[in-house]
Amino acid sequence: MLRGDIMRIRTLFLVLSLSVFTSLFVSAENLTNLNIGLESKLSNEGFIEISGKEFKVEYESGERVFKVEGDIYAVVSNKYYLMVSKVFDSYEDAKEVVDLYKNAKPVYIGNEEWKVYIGEYSSDKEAREDFDLVYEINPDMDHEVLRNNYRRISIMSGDGEEFIIDSRDDNLFFDSNYKFEFLEDKYRGKFGFVRKNDNDLILINRIDINNYLKSVVPSEMPALWEKEALKAQAVAARNYTYLNMSKHIEEGYNLCDTVHCQVYKGVMTEHKNSSEAVMETEGDLLYYGDNLVETYFFARSGGATEDSENVWSKEVDYLRSVEDEFEQDEIWLINPDKEISSIEIKDYYNSGSVASIYINKKEYKKANGRYFLGLRSNKYRIKSFEGKVYANILGMSNNNRPYEDINIFSNDKKLKKVYILGVDENIKEIDYESGTDGLIIEGIGYGHGVGMSQMGANEYAKRNYTYKQILSHYYTGSIVKGEAIDE
Ligand SMILES: [Zn+2]
């Protein structure tokens, strides 16, 4: 849940800069396919292996080019080539010329056009040495030396098919009737490759927006939560997707798969409940007037959400502080890992968040004290400021969730080990971080506090609020428009 927090800590000027583009984009009606750059699996070795079968090679438009069987290998190519000057309209036409030479390959150059490269060579000089040879083989066509560049990718298939992609703006995609596998994760949809520079090679997953959201939503909110809360989260994720379509356009894809955009791990994270939430809200988007809402969210509010200008700089009409009526408070205690000689909170906002705090005689306004102290939220008070040993448990519990709310105190200043009794009834030693300077801060809430509280949304859902009511509550004055039919 911390992910949502990090993900949405973005400067609000984006709201302004994107709004012009966004209204143009959204009017282009149905957004269907997305290109997701799997940056979390970036290959610095310049080599990628994809497992699967019966791959069809397609142009960006979806038109079939040819078929390859077996696994696919992509390798960056930093070599020199001799190029046949003629441009070919199809892979087959290029292939006919390829077959004249001993060491030539078809090359996709974009716009559904192909060329033929001969080589590879390690230098310009080495390439020139073969000029006579290639002229003898094919005297009807001109040949020229091609320098190395930072976009060529060599593709090989398990059945011996080999070609090069050397296109600046246009890509080839691999489709299959089966899911494909990449570094132990399975993905739906199609894939392509793109280079960053040098040896960096990134796999692009071309996927239908519904299938994309089915993977994203359960990464943001536990799939076992209430259906209407999951539906609110699905709409929030869809809004984010529409608003950030151009975030990585210069790199050759729409969004990345990390917290920088939205965490996306393919088929593995999908769950029946969240998939239903995506399909039951299909096409739904949240608007404020004519503009898409920037759907900031966070884990829990501690009773009230926050005005946007109290956290960031810009005042946004629909990001107002609202009450979180049913959220269950959960108190956290933290011993900040900082050298602190004096600390005093000077002012609070109406929501209960800290507006001003002095630490070591320096003033921190808005949430800056929270960030400095490394706190879970901006709703806190100083509990004590004297000598005690405190341990904050690190790591994951058995159900793969962080140990969030276990705090242990010791007065003898000799806390060396921490043991817990697991749900499997085994006692195990776990990692912890401890502090001894005795400053204990007590707080409620988790995250930046702007927009939707996920925990609060789940509590509203338990009380029969619909996802539309939940979204309109947290994003003041906004309404859901789209395809989903009211029940
Ligand atoms: Zn990104």
pLDDT tens string 94-107: 999 999 998 999 99
Quickly count: other Cβ atoms within 10 Å of residue 377's Cβ.
25
Domain boundaries, the chain: 1-37+210-318+450-487, 38-207, 331-444
- Provide the mean pLDDT of the chain: 86
How many Å lie between the centroid of ligand 1 and the Cα of residue 144?
39
Residue 216, amino acid? V
pTM of the model as a whole: 0.81
Which of 2-16, 321-335, 457-471 shows the lowest mean pLDDT across its residues?
Answer: 2-16
| Secondary structure E strands in 389-463 | 389-393, 407-410, 418-421, 427-430, 432-435, 439-444, 452-453
Confidence grade of residue 193 (pLDDT, cut at 50, 70, 90): very high
How many Å lie between the centroid of ligand 1 and the Cα of residue 427?
40
Mean pLDDT of 379-406: 64
Burial (0-12, 13-18, 19+ Cβ within 10 Å), 100: middle
pLDDT above 50 for 451: yes
How many Å lie between the centroid of ligand 1 and the Cα of residue 18?
15
Cα 448 to chain centroid distance, Å, stands at 19
Nearest CA-CA partner of 214 in 249, 248, 189, 196:
189
pLDDT of residue 231: 98
As given in the structure block, the two tokens for residue 98 are: 């390829």
How many Å lie between the centroid of ligand 1 and the Cα of residue 260?
4
How many Å lie between the centroid of ligand 1 and the Cα of residue 39?
8
Output b/e per residue, 109-134; b: 16+ Cβ within 10 A: bbebebbbbbbbbeeeeebeebeeeb
Mean pLDDT of 223-242: 98
Task: List CB contacts of 160: < 8 A, sequence separation 6 or more.
Answer: none
How many Å lie between the centroid of ligand 1 and the Cα of residue 258?
6
Find residue 194's DSSP bridge partners. Answer: 202
pLDDT above 80 for 428: no
Task: List CB contacts of 146: < 8 A, sequence separation 6 or more.
Answer: 80, 81, 82, 83, 117, 127
Task: List CB contacts of 196: < 8 A, sequence separation 6 or more.
Answer: 42, 202, 251
- Coil, strand or helix: which one is 359? strand
pLDDT of residue 341: 79
How many Å lie between the centroid of ligand 1 and the Cα of residue 436?
39
CA dist 291 to 17, 21, 249, 390, Å?
A: 12, 11, 22, 47
Confidence grade of residue 403 (pLDDT, cut at 50, 70, 90): low
How many Å lie between the centroid of ligand 1 and the Cα of residue 2?
17
pLDDT of residue 11: 34
Q: How close are the terminal C-alpha atoms of the chain, in Å?
A: 29
Burial (0-12, 13-18, 19+ Cβ within 10 Å), 170: middle
How many Å lie between the centroid of ligand 1 and the Cα of residue 251?
10
| Residue 153 and residue 197 in contact, taking contact as beta carbons nearer than 8 Å | no
As given in the structure block, the two tokens for residue 196 are: 């960053």
pLDDT of residue 398: 56
How many Å lie between the centroid of ligand 1 and the Cα of residue 244?
9
Output b/e per residue, 280-294; b: 16+ Cβ within 10 A: bbeebbbbbeebbbb
How many Å lie between the centroid of ligand 1 and the Cα of residue 37?
8
Q: Which contiguous run of DSSP H or E holds residue 4?
A: helix 2-7
How many Å lie between the centroid of ligand 1 and the Cα of residue 217?
16
pLDDT tens column, 118-138? 999 999 999 999 999 999 999
pLDDT above 80 for 418: no
- Coil, strand or helix: which one is 144? strand
Distance between CA atoms of residues 457 and 183, nearest Å: 35
Distance between CA atoms of residues 36 and 254, nearest Å: 6
Ion ligand 1 neighbours, Cβ < 5 Å? 256, 260-261
How many Å lie between the centroid of ligand 1 and the Cα of residue 249?
10
How many Å lie between the centroid of ligand 1 and the Cα of residue 38?
9
As given in the structure block, the two tokens for residue 49 are: 């292996």
Alpha helices by DSSP H, 160-257: 209-220, 227-243
How many Å lie between the centroid of ligand 1 and the Cα of residue 248?
6
How many Å lie between the centroid of ligand 1 and the Cα of residue 419?
39
How many Å lie between the centroid of ligand 1 and the Cα of residue 337?
30
